[in-house]
Amino acid sequence: MEHISLENKTILVTGAAGFIGANLCRRLLKDYNVKIIGIDNLNDYYDVRIKEYRLDFIKDDPHFTFIKGNIADKEMIDNIFETCRPDIVVNLAAQAGVRYSIQNPDAYIESNMLGFYNLLEACRHHPVEHLVYASSSSVYGSNKKVPYSTEDKVDNPVSLYAATKKSNELMAHAYSKLYNIPSTGLRFFTVYGPAGRPDMAYFGFTNKLRNHETIQIFNYGNCKRDFTYIDDIVEGVIRVMQGAPEKKNGEDGLPIPPYAVYNIGNNQPENLLDFVQILSEELVNYDVLPKDYDFEAHKELVPMQPGDVPITYADTTPLERDYGFKPSTPLRDGLIEFVKWYKAFYM
């Protein structure tokens, strides 16, 4: 592995107003002497106020430059690489969400495929030290073998979102092989925390319970998710940024692709019903919901949704082996941080 110092580097972060992107920028600006160019199109897939809230923490930092734009805009991307010459690229811009991909497939092809292709082309013409990009646990589809290992075959995506993420890994592999671009894909597992995405279950459940609506628990509650706290994800990304796959040649004299893929998950799947239980307890503890709230009356167990999977479970052994890191924030601790933020933001 090639060690990369972040000191005095120019880092391009796409999706900089997103949940992971904004937290990553904030941490890099706080702990490292870096220059960050952040791109985000601030689309209204969810409440833009949350994106603006995240940006508020970083937008005035003299080492941060924000560009409102879409990575599918090739001219803009080429221009940024031409003028800013990033040393490291972290691609977190993507149209997220499994269910949304069923109603709005165009958004996924534009951002997740065309946008990523533009970045690969730019890295080809303006070589970078490391391209790190977001993949997703959804690439595992409905694999029966758990925990999910990056060695597993992932050829059967169950949603278009998952198919676009798998395509990113394949495209990155081809570009790594052809142009010797060091690239690392990160398969994130159910990321949660303060100022997270409102389309995620913990956030949606909280909104619904506050509005006295019924929450639907899929697969009759027989779902397990490897919930991974945002700070753990950010720590993992920063460690990976500093260790790029090594450039070396094979016996045939041709480059072996400097390419890697890792899981970043909590390695501890939680049953959805337990998760709802913990969330509801903390919503009462922090006075987001009244003490006498009737949770049973607002819960409905329903069948599985198209595109969903019954379990996500990350094998994080390679991440531990290569980067000495494993996410470890307990679910209750993470949900408490979310509930405290939710109360401050909405109440």
- Known catalytic residues are 161
The number of beta carbons lying within 10 Å of the beta carbon of residue 52 is 12
Task: Determine how β-strand 255-256 pairs with β-strand 191-192.
Answer: unpaired
Q: Are the beta carbons of 279 and 204 closer than 8 angstroms?
A: no
Contact 35, 113 (CB under 8 A): no
Q: Give one word for 220, left, alpha or beta, with left for phi > 0 and alpha for psi -120 to 50.
A: left
State the Cα–Cα distance between residues 185 and 169, nearest whole angstrom. Answer: 7
Judge whether 190 and 135 are in contact, CB under 8 Å: no
Q: Could you give the CA distance from residue 84 to residue 80 in angstroms, rounded to a whole number?
A: 6
Going by C-alpha positions, the residue among 40, 52, 25 that lies closest to residue 76 is: 40
DSSP bridge partners of 131: 89, 183
For every residue of 139-184, DSSP letters joined together read GGTT--SSSB-TTS-----SSHHHHHHHHHHHHHHHHHHHH---EE
